[in-house]
Structure 1
Amino acid sequence: MKPSSTSLALALTSAAWLLGATPVLAQSPAASGPREIARVTGARGNHVVWLENDDGVVDIAVMATYPQRPLVAPRFLKKHTPAEVFLALAPSRQELPAALARESLFAVDVTAREQLQRENAAALAELPSGFDSGGQSMAAGCTTSFRAWVASEYGDATCGDPSQEVISTAHPSDTYCTSGCDFPLGTQDRGSCEPKLRSCDIIKGTATVVRLRTTDWWNGVNFNHPGHAAHFGVANCSGNGPVTFNRARGASGTVTVQVPVNGMLHYKPGTAIVPANAANFVAYGSWKKGKTASGDTYVGNSMSVEANGGPDDRVIACGDIYTDYTLQDVSSPTCHGSDISLCSGGNCTSACFYCSGGSCPIN
């Protein structure tokens, strides 16, 4: 896949970026195709870029330099919208860019920002540390330490794992509950139905993912598959210069990023498949609504890596394209008593555990 005429080039260089996290809005948006609307920079080349396409969808590109942690943790990136990521990283007085303000689900206040900042900081603190600070070199190959760092940056131990297949289908899962799960369960709801959730109420979400894994790759990489959502990662292990990452979703235009030796790009398109409705809406059986496999609603997702043909050039490339996502009630059978489970009826008074109009049929 070659970059189109609407490509947007973003250089991840070895220049000394500002030590503080400072957003810089794009100065001259492109006439068409993805355009940078905001950027937060950190030390040693680490930065996060927000890109808006012609449809108003905003992607996030996270760049990190080995062995540093990124500015945003992969777990936080998965759980939050591009607007929430911006609020977690940008200075407190920095307003949301218009494209991000449109998708924000809550009032932008100090308390909300501080909570997002704390959550990201906690997720970053959980990432492994102590990687060999010597870095990579001209010598060909991806070291064990570099592979482990890449896996932590991508948020998946299979990224960079030599035992993984190049292309395969996987079924990763998430959990939803009131505390201690991947996502919260029933934080909002509709109308007069109020879920009376307990800690033993648990929903399991399972995805079908077409997965690319290259672990010590020389020369070009190409990956293209239709689906509901995707995310990608490219790390430049060794060689004489940067490699070129190209990404496109549908007809939104191609994004092109230069990834230097010792650099890692984690690219997350704005369209997300999780969290599902279980994270917010539980009443009227809405927790069941995931994403069904449907070729009619799939969008093409492609990535490629170029300029990786030098004798010592090696990259790790990872891609995950989601084709469906289903939800299942896995609560304890005794959570609410015999034959009582998450409501899937058509009103608030069915035999489950909702309160309606001040009365609770099941407590």
Structure 2
Amino acid sequence: MEHPPVKPSSTSLALALVGAGWLIGASPVHAAPTASSGPREIARVSGAPGNHVLFLENDEGEVDVAVAATYPSRPLIAPRFLKSHTAAEVFLAVAPAHQELPAAFTRNARLAVDRDTREQLQRENADALASLPMTSDSGGQSLAASCSASFRDWVGNVYDDATCGDPSQEVIGTVRPTDTYCTSGCDYTLGAYDKGTCQPKLRSCDIVQGKATVVRLRATNWGDLNFNHPGHFAHFGVANCTGNGPVDFNYRRGTASTSTVQVPLNGMLYVKLGSEIVPGNAANFVSYGQWKTGKPASGATYVGNSLSVETHGGTDDRVIACGDIYTDYTMTDISSPSCHGPDISLCSGSNCTSACFYCSGGSCPIN
């Protein structure tokens, strides 16, 4: 069950302090020493002051990604890129070309770490960042207990959702956002990297829709708050828009120790926790009906996710907090019936002569 934003009790949080400073050093990659318990910082990629990406290994051996940004600048990682790529891919997109993947990534990495892969990931992230509408306002926030409109707009852009920071959208509830997959002009490219034995000849009218079920938090101009719900994947963000000091952003997934990161005035930090749920297989694999693979609702395999904020600077501290916990993701072919003709459809084929692929009743080319 989802819970309303309330102040967390001091006894309910076993806090392991991670990254208490907002920026460490000027080197592009910083590897922290091994911690005795709790989340361990394995790498940090830094940009302009206040902008960096943290890679944290939790007690269960998973790597969480935390992205810090300072108003009104762009983050180093685009939120859409973060949401749709693994932690290893995020590292390759921002780390220097000579920097090898830390051991924590290589245990679960399923990608070739070569120059072409790095360049492709860097381009994808750069394109996603370039599409972010950013304000030119260089002013900061004040001690008054209010979040400015320009700051709210910036938060929504950095989080990649206009409802984040919108005072008219405050809610804890369930929403069902959709994404589209096609050859051009959709959220994701359909079958962009499919190298299956029987690769369909996709047409511009082939469209697949992904629909998620998301338990959502939107809190604007708040002090302390708490949000938690089980699910497959979580995207959390906290921005500190007013007050006289940093706030503590606590987050946790599963049985891992709670991570606490301080968010300074005019700063924002967002994290991705759990297995990637967007995009679905349709972005990469179409052969043999793999485009249908999403992520089913499954209470038995859900993992707990929690976000809380504690403000310690003073009575005028205010934050914007946003959370999206994904519980399922389904894929549907929404192409028009006339799109494919008699020779192709996005169905589940069992061999290369299936009508799902190049030809009907004959031999199909091998890719």
Equivalent-residue separation in structure 2 for 1:286 and 1:323 (angstroms): 20
Q: Which residue of 2 aligns with 1:121?
A: 126
The answer on 1:41 being equivalent to 2:58 is no
Q: Which residue of 2 aligns with 1:84?
A: 89
Confirm or deny: 8 A CA contact 1:12 1:45 kept in the other structure: no
Structure 1 residue 154, shift from structure 2 partner: 0.4
Aligned counterpart for 1:282 among listed residues 276, 283, 286? 286
Structure 1 residue 268, shift from structure 2 partner: 0.9
Structure 1 residue 75, shift from structure 2 partner: 1.6
Q: Which residue of 1 aligns with 2:4?
A: none
Equivalent-residue separation in structure 2 for 1:278 and 1:64 (angstroms): 31
Aligned counterpart for 1:292 among listed residues 266, 277, 296? 296
Equivalent-residue separation in structure 1 for 2:126 and 2:194 (angstroms): 28
Equivalent-residue separation in structure 1 for 2:186 and 2:57 (angstroms): 31
Confirm or deny: 8 A CA contact 1:234 1:316 kept in the other structure: yes
Aligned counterpart for 2:20 among listed residues 11, 31, 42? 11
Equivalent-residue separation in structure 1 for 2:340 and 2:21 (angstroms): 53
Q: Which residue of 2 aligns with 1:23?
A: 29
Structure 1 residue 6, shift from structure 2 partner: 6.3
- Could you tell which deviates more after superposition, 184-193 or 196-205? 184-193
Once the two structures are aligned, what percentage of the paired residues are identical?
69
Q: Which amino acid aligns with 1:197?
A: L
Structure 1 residue 355, shift from structure 2 partner: 6.3
Aligned residues: 356
The answer on 1:236 being equivalent to 2:232 is no
Confirm or deny: 8 A CA contact 1:17 1:45 kept in the other structure: no
Q: What value does the CA root-mean-square deviation take over the aligned residues?
A: 2.3
Q: SS where residue 149 of structure 1 aligns?
A: helix
Pairs within 5 Å for 1:49-198: 49-189=54-194, 192-198=197-203
Confirm or deny: 8 A CA contact 2:40 2:57 kept in the other structure: yes
Equivalent-residue separation in structure 1 for 2:60 and 2:283 (angstroms): 26
Equivalent-residue separation in structure 1 for 2:156 and 2:28 (angstroms): 27
Q: SS where residue 226 of structure 1 aligns?
A: strand
| Uncovered stretches (5+) of structure 1, i.e. residues with no partner | none
After superposition, the C-alpha distances for 1:87-127 in whole angstroms (9 at most, x for unaligned) are: 11111101111122233333222222122222222221221
Report the CA distance shift for 1:81/1:357 in structure 2 as closer, same or farther (over 3 A). farther
Q: Which residue of 2 aligns with 1:261?
A: 265
Equivalent-residue separation in structure 2 for 1:244 and 1:61 (angstroms): 14
Equivalent-residue separation in structure 2 for 1:292 and 1:34 (angstroms): 29
Q: SS where residue 81 of structure 2 aligns?
A: helix
Confirm or deny: 8 A CA contact 1:229 1:269 kept in the other structure: yes
Q: SS where residue 163 of structure 1 aligns?
A: helix
Structure 1 residue 320, shift from structure 2 partner: 0.3
Structure 1 residue 157, shift from structure 2 partner: 0.5
Q: Which amino acid aligns with 2:96?
A: P
Q: SS where residue 170 of structure 2 aligns?
A: coil
Q: Which residue of 1 aligns with 2:3?
A: none
Confirm or deny: 8 A CA contact 1:45 1:63 kept in the other structure: yes
Report the CA distance shift for 1:159/1:193 in structure 2 as closer, same or farther (over 3 A). same
Confirm or deny: 8 A CA contact 2:353 2:363 kept in the other structure: no
Q: Which residue of 2 aligns with 1:319?
A: 323
Report the CA distance shift for 1:284/1:114 in structure 2 as closer, same or farther (over 3 A). closer
Equivalent-residue separation in structure 2 for 1:106 and 1:198 (angstroms): 27
Q: SS where residue 310 of structure 1 aligns?
A: coil
Q: Which residue of 2 aligns with 1:351?
A: 355
Report the CA distance shift for 1:141/1:17 in structure 2 as closer, same or farther (over 3 A). farther
Equivalent-residue separation in structure 2 for 1:355 and 1:249 (angstroms): 47
TM-score (normalizing by structure 1): 0.91
Q: Which residue of 1 aligns with 2:208?
A: 203
After superposition, the C-alpha distances for 1:134-175 in whole angstroms (9 at most, x for unaligned) are: 110111110000000000110100000111132121111111
Q: Which residue of 2 aligns with 1:330?
A: 334
Structure 1 residue 189, shift from structure 2 partner: 4.8
Confirm or deny: 8 A CA contact 1:136 1:262 kept in the other structure: yes
Confirm or deny: 8 A CA contact 1:16 1:45 kept in the other structure: no
Report the CA distance shift for 1:122/1:190 in structure 2 as closer, same or farther (over 3 A). closer
TM-score (normalizing by structure 2): 0.90
Structure 1 residue 82, shift from structure 2 partner: 1.1
Q: Which amino acid aligns with 1:10?
A: G
Equivalent-residue separation in structure 2 for 1:344 and 1:63 (angstroms): 42
The answer on 1:249 being equivalent to 2:258 is no
Report the CA distance shift for 1:296/1:278 in structure 2 as closer, same or farther (over 3 A). same
Equivalent-residue separation in structure 1 for 2:364 and 2:101 (angstroms): 41
Q: Which residue of 2 aligns with 1:360?
A: 364
Confirm or deny: 8 A CA contact 2:141 2:242 kept in the other structure: yes
Q: Which amino acid aligns with 1:60?
A: V
